Copies of this chain bind each other. A is one copy, B any other.
């Protein structure tokens, strides 16, 4: 591998001169600069970023840790983050925790040892706290995306989950639904908690019945086994006329179970969810959703992270951005079937 010394030797200058040419610093005569550049081209020289990071104490690499790389919400978010990062001369690496605390922990370790300059995290849930404290202890700036974690102070970009929950209930109530059930992610995840809270408040406000059996708490991630969902549907004494899914993955899974049972949406049951389906919503614009501005989550989060890294205002108070929830009405809601 060609090093800066090889270039220096061949160009008949010192390594420092080559370094100055590379970084455009200090004073170099045009003649020397040209000669060094020519030699670099000739030998296909590429500076060793590892060596550079070691002395500069910064990598200009940022990390985005998401919980589900196959979920379009996160890939769209990733695009936003990437765009903001490259626009500022940083590179972005991705990691995928799969909603697992263990994998998340591994990635945190990787992040610490790689000495990245900053991290964007969609945490697996409240128990992610120790992971975040680790980042804090090691002075690595980070911004939370989509989910808050109680107990840690930091910048965070959230969606208006509670409001989203309310709106979905209202939308269904307007169509005459009274038996509205909800399937949701774990309550150890702040967004799931707020979605549920919004749902509960709106149900109460509209004087709709809502027993504990109407709510099913499971994981946001993709599962191979849908029997939990089946059991839940069977357990409700009076079947619901509408279901709210806490995210897009859960909606897919509920849909799959309903189809298997020959229950048609929206004729026999209405179905709505949080999070849009990315490009696929376009394909068959079927399901009514609370859409989140996924791209903006990434873009804004990245901007906040870069501000912390470049510390325009040292130790500014933590910021919390809440992006609005938008109801997109499509074709998955109808009047409840007459009894």
Contact = CB atoms under 8 A, between A and B. Distances in A.
Contacts of A94: 93-94
A122 interface: no
Given A54-B54, A252-B283, A283-B280, A115 B48 contact: yes
A115 to B, nearest CB: 6
Given A54-B54, A256-B283, A283-B252, A49 B82 contact: no
A115 B50 contact: yes
Nearest to A46: B112
A50 B46 contact: no
A334 interface: no
Contacts of A215: none
A14 interface: no
Interface string A6-43: 00000000000000000000000000000000000000
A278 interface: yes
A321 B165 CA distance: 48
Residue from the set A75, A139, A277 with the largest chain B CB neighbour count within 10 Å = A75
A255 B283 contact: yes
Contacts of A76: 70
Nearest to A278: B70
Contacts of A180: none
Contacts of A234: none
Contact of A96 (B82, B110, B278): B82
Interface string A310-325: 0000000000000000
Interface string A49-82: 1110110000100000000011010011011001
Given A70-B79, A75-B70, A279-B249, A139 B1 contact: yes
B53 A50 contact: yes
Interface string A243-259: 00000010110011000
Contacts of A286: 284
A218 interface: no
A57 to B, nearest CB: 8
Residue from the set A46, A78, A137, A255 with the largest chain B CB neighbour count within 10 Å = A46
A115 B54 CA distance: 14
Residue from the set A59, A82, A93, A286 with the largest chain B CB neighbour count within 10 Å = A93
30 contacts: A1-B138, A44-B137, A44-B138, A46-B109, A46-B112, A46-B113, A47-B113, A48-B115, A49-B114, A50-B50, A54-B54, A69-B75, A69-B78, A69-B79, A70-B72, A70-B75, A70-B79, A78-B96, A91-B110, A93-B94, A222-B279, A249-B279, A252-B279, A252-B280, A252-B283, A255-B282, A255-B284, A280-B280, A280-B283, A284-B286
Given A44-B137, A49-B113, 5 more contacts: A44-B138, A50-B114, A69-B78, A70-B279, A82-B96
